[in-house]
Structure 1
């Protein structure tokens, strides 16, 4: 499911922690996705089958 987040009121990571299951495919489009984002989701990211990250540059 595609979902947009307003990081002032919600955190994408909180929703991802609930939604990621073993074998999931995760596609992320973000202007910023830091190593800290990976660290916060480390346990969940170990469960996924495929990860695609698109980070726009300016």
Structure 2
């Protein structure tokens, strides 16, 4: 029987969120207006929205 590889199903989304955060922080640090600021806003907003969704909104929905 072939062993199941559980690396990507387990670590795929955390790695993607980390890469987005790193891109956003570097873009915010080195940009001076224009596309760099929009890229920073977008790439830092996505992990923030995901944390908000899983940390607060889903907890409210699960209450009886």
Please, what TM-score do these two structures have when normalized by structure 1? 0.28
If asked which structure has higher relative contact order (CA below 8 Å, sep 6+), I would say 1
Normalized per residue, the structure richer in strand is 1
Normalized per residue, the structure richer in helix is 2
Please, what TM-score do these two structures have when normalized by structure 2? 0.27
Structure exhibiting the larger radius of gyration computed from Cα positions: 2
